[in-house]
A and B are shown apart, each in its own frame.
Chain A
């Protein structure tokens, strides 16, 4: 098991290297020039030349790449052009917001999707199943920017229940400690800040989670369908247990393993799905940062964020593979 994990870790290194090469060449190949985008309307050739030299853009591309790899191997992704700060620091200040949003999206999606899925799976092809499936498909069948604006207009506009954007109201929260706004507020027992945070996170998390809701619902449903027909469930039924108990106690507990896997896998997709949702909701996370960086052609920052995302993606996949073995003893590596 341990040796397998080591093997996998070693195997990811070339993948990461390849990805870094791809990001680097893609972003440099895209038209646009950070000096022209960042130096303002009235800039001139001399200023541009100076900035190019300072940012190392006057060197051949392969030299730039080799320098990047060497520094990145030591954990240094360079300095952002726009923020003039180490890329790592910029990402560090923005990542907690994205993680917080993703976690909430997962919670909202699971809370809605799992009961719906169990219900639909327990009574396949009933009207409940059809209705549930359609509802589950609801989120997948809409572009997220559209869903986000509709949610704002409905829940913030017509019903006037929630704020339209942002992560918090100014002046309610205590000092920042971990960067996780809700976590910090809970730790400080600042309940009005917790509530304020919840009202702000609800809409973006819902907009982000709708997609996952659909997937989770479908996986839960088919997983339930499968387990329902296993022999031990028939036995439980034969013992005369009530159908409700059979479904909730025996079926669900067994059917949830693949569901959990999907939740883990979807975390990677959520991270990148947050790009649009964060932009619309002015959520100060890494997704909106990526768009800002991309619009300024801030090469080090774009590369840094994408590398962070891929690292997270690779790590999650590793963890899940490990979990498989723990959960299902039949799997051996």
Chain B
């Protein structure tokens, strides 16, 4: 014991010295505690939101979604036009340069899209970035023509903040693996300095980059550190080991607010949370599905378990998301008596057995929230049971269509088109296995409609059908809590992207 104590005393002394020397550095450094990081050096080798965000920062986003404007905004692609429903023209900025000084050109964009996202067998991004793109060609040094196999109105939602543009020259010179690992070329305001899978990732600012010049106070170094346990993230945040902490559970916010140097920034996430029901017995009857929706007391769950940090969904999406209609009908209010009636109508007056499956630790308080739904379902006449399979099992089964009743979230829903198609359009995926010709027609029309007003109308009609027919109960969107050190001026985004260029470090 004595030896331990002596060891710790020396330890304190030396940490103090080390801490002292570190603050002398003029470079500003921001560490961010995140729950997952990039695992692969290949920018196209994974398809998770953080991957798109970080590599978009390194390579400069092709274009980006601005929540302030509620629309897409040019970056590397300064502007664009739709020549005809299957042809888009993108005009590139002339100011984006790779780390070696060469300019980012149309050839690099075409190469990244055709040879890396679509053509490379190692890419895991084709379906997410370029689902309908069949051809991309350079019209001149700074103009790219993109052709799709069918009219794709939401094309920008696939390309913006997702298309990663890397250097064709580096690829040709060094080959794929060496280019990614040792000669990572990007046209973005940050460059990748270090990647240790499972531990951290370090980005360094390129002070001469046009975006960096616009944001002189953006941090010089950004370190993404994996911290999976919430207690650990909060501890590190309180100790100033990290300056930004992702996903603070609501109940821990008081610990942070006690410290005057730290604050909590809540953000309405664009991830929609819902209960999916496959139309197989007992959910083949609309009444049973509606009974589930009327049984869940969403307001109470939000007020208690989530301490108010979520907003209720009346319909698939909420305010700030493309196509949101505040007057959408019907609304599935909390009404357990109505649920009982509906169940009786469906022939289940004496109750019916259902098994709800939920992931654990993937979404904010997922297990606790679904646990709270079980007695609510039971009070409305169900005999419900909760199962918590491991994620790999659950997710694969959901995608294969073998889970009848599950709690799930769908992220990056700035524009609901892709999500609605994925879960509810006949034959698109077996996740729910729902089929409704009227809905299909609306969703098809919506995707091919370039007139935004009409498109919103179609979307609104589709969402009204969905809410009434209830292949899923739409529950809420979480307010994600970010911990921010007051030295950092930053407005976290509603999706999982983290753009260091938008941060300002106070000197």
Direct A–B contact in the complex, CB atoms closer than 8 angstroms: yes
- Stretch among B232-240, B330-338, B462-470 lining the A interface: B232-240
In this complex, which of A84, A157, A288 has the most chain B Cβ atoms within 10 angstroms of its Cβ?
Answer: A84
Are B11 and A166 closer than 8 Å at their CB atoms?
A: no
Given contacts A82-B46, A195-B14, contact A42 B131 (CB under 8 A): yes
CA A238 – CA B125 in complex, angstroms?
A: 80
Given contacts A37-B395, A164-B239, contact A42 B418 (CB under 8 A): yes
| Chain A residues, Cβ within 8 Å of B229 | 149, 152, 280
Name the distance in Å between B30's Cβ and chain A's nearest Cβ: 12
Are B127 and A40 closer than 8 Å at their CB atoms?
A: yes
Are B127 and A157 closer than 8 Å at their CB atoms?
A: no
| Chain B residues, Cβ within 8 Å of A156 | 235-236, 239
CA A50 – CA B393 in complex, angstroms?
A: 21
Instruction: Report if A322 contacts B (CB, 8 A).
Output: no
Instruction: Report if B328 contacts A (CB, 8 A).
Output: no
Give the contacting residue for A42; candidates B46, B121, B225, B422; CB below 8 A.
Answer: B422
Identify the closest chain B residue to A176 (Cβ). B196
Given contacts A149-B231, A161-B8, contact A295 B391 (CB under 8 A): yes
Instruction: Report if B376 contacts A (CB, 8 A).
Output: no
Instruction: Report if B70 contacts A (CB, 8 A).
Output: no
CA A207 – CA B127 in complex, angstroms?
A: 42
CA A159 – CA B239 in complex, angstroms?
A: 10
| Chain B residues, Cβ within 8 Å of A288 | 198
Q: Binary interface profile of B, 2-40, with partner A (CB < 8 Å = 1, else 0)?
A: 010000100110110010000000000000000000011
- Stretch among B60-68, B141-149, B345-353, B396-404 lining the A interface: B396-404
Name the distance in Å between B45's Cβ and chain A's nearest Cβ: 6
CA A284 – CA B45 in complex, angstroms?
A: 19
Are B225 and A38 closer than 8 Å at their CB atoms?
A: no
CA A41 – CA B14 in complex, angstroms?
A: 47
State the main secondary structure of chain A at its contact with B: loop
Given contacts A153-B231, A283-B199, contact A42 B15 (CB under 8 A): no
Q: Binary interface profile of B, 34-66, with partner A (CB < 8 Å = 1, else 0)?
A: 000001101001111000000000000000000
CB contacts under 8 Å to A, within B122-170, are 122, 124-128, 131
| Chain A residues, Cβ within 8 Å of B46 | 38, 82
CB contacts under 8 Å to A, within B180-234, are 194, 196-200, 202, 221, 223, 225-229, 231-232
Are A282 and B47 closer than 8 Å at their CB atoms?
A: no
Give the contacting residue for A152; candidates B11, B231, B399; CB below 8 A.
Answer: B231
CA A3 – CA B400 in complex, angstroms?
A: 54
CA A284 – CA B12 in complex, angstroms?
A: 25
CA A111 – CA B2 in complex, angstroms?
A: 12
Identify the closest chain A residue to B10 (Cβ). A195
| Chain B residues, Cβ within 8 Å of A163 | 236, 241
| Chain B residues, Cβ within 8 Å of A159 | 8
CA A85 – CA B229 in complex, angstroms?
A: 29
Are A36 and B396 closer than 8 Å at their CB atoms?
A: yes
CA A297 – CA B391 in complex, angstroms?
A: 11
| Chain A residues, Cβ within 8 Å of B122 | 84
Are A82 and B40 closer than 8 Å at their CB atoms?
A: yes
Identify the closest chain B residue to A55 (Cβ). B121
CB contacts under 8 Å to B, within A150-206, are 152-153, 156-157, 159-167, 170-171, 192, 195-196, 199
CA A228 – CA B18 in complex, angstroms?
A: 48
Q: Binary interface profile of B, 414-448, with partner A (CB < 8 Å = 1, else 0)?
A: 00001000100000010000000000000000000
Are A280 and B228 closer than 8 Å at their CB atoms?
A: yes
Name the distance in Å between B385's Cβ and chain A's nearest Cβ: 19
Are A152 and B228 closer than 8 Å at their CB atoms?
A: no
Are B121 and A282 closer than 8 Å at their CB atoms?
A: no
| Chain A residues, Cβ within 8 Å of B194 | 170
In this complex, which of B11, B40, B223, B411 has the most chain A Cβ atoms within 10 angstroms of its Cβ?
Answer: B11
CB contacts under 8 Å to B, within A231-276, are none
| Chain A residues, Cβ within 8 Å of B127 | 39-40, 42-44, 47
Name the distance in Å between B173's Cβ and chain A's nearest Cβ: 20
Name the distance in Å between B186's Cβ and chain A's nearest Cβ: 19
Identify the closest chain A residue to B42 (Cβ). A84
Given contacts A42-B422, A82-B46, contact A33 B128 (CB under 8 A): no
Identify the closest chain A residue to B402 (Cβ). A31
Instruction: Report if A314 contacts B (CB, 8 A).
Output: no
| Chain B residues, Cβ within 8 Å of A295 | 391-392
| Chain A residues, Cβ within 8 Å of B15 | 161-162, 199
Are B47 and A40 closer than 8 Å at their CB atoms?
A: yes
Give the contacting residue for B235; candidates A36, A54, A152, A285; CB below 8 A.
Answer: A152
Are A164 and B236 closer than 8 Å at their CB atoms?
A: yes
Are B392 and A37 closer than 8 Å at their CB atoms?
A: yes
Give the contacting residue for A41; candidates B45, B196, B410; CB below 8 A.
Answer: B410
Are A157 and B239 closer than 8 Å at their CB atoms?
A: yes
CA A161 – CA B241 in complex, angstroms?
A: 12
Identify the closest chain B residue to A44 (Cβ). B127
Identify the closest chain A residue to B22 (Cβ). A169
CA A286 – CA B34 in complex, angstroms?
A: 20
| Chain A residues, Cβ within 8 Å of B410 | 41
Name the distance in Å between A59's Cβ and chain B's nearest Cβ: 17
CA A279 – CA B223 in complex, angstroms?
A: 19
| Chain B residues, Cβ within 8 Å of A196 | 18
| Chain A residues, Cβ within 8 Å of B126 | 47
Q: Binary interface profile of A, 88-117, with partner B (CB < 8 Å = 1, else 0)?
A: 000001100000000000000001000000
CA A32 – CA B423 in complex, angstroms?
A: 20
Are A157 and B235 closer than 8 Å at their CB atoms?
A: yes
| Chain A residues, Cβ within 8 Å of B45 | 82-84
Q: Provide a sorted-by-A list of 10 A–B residue pairs whose CB atoms are within 8 angstroms.
A: A32-B396, A40-B127, A156-B236, A164-B227, A165-B226, A166-B200, A282-B226, A282-B228, A283-B199, A284-B199
Chain A residues within CB distance 8 Å of chain B: 30-33, 36-44, 47, 50, 54, 82-85, 93-94, 111, 149, 152-153, 156-157, 159-167, 170-171, 192, 195-196, 199, 278-280, 282-285, 288-289, 292, 294-297
Chain B residues within CB distance 8 Å of chain A: 3, 8, 11-12, 14-15, 18, 39-40, 42, 45-48, 121-122, 124-128, 131, 177, 194, 196-200, 202, 221, 223, 225-229, 231-232, 235-236, 238-239, 241, 391-393, 395-397, 399-400, 410-411, 418, 422, 429
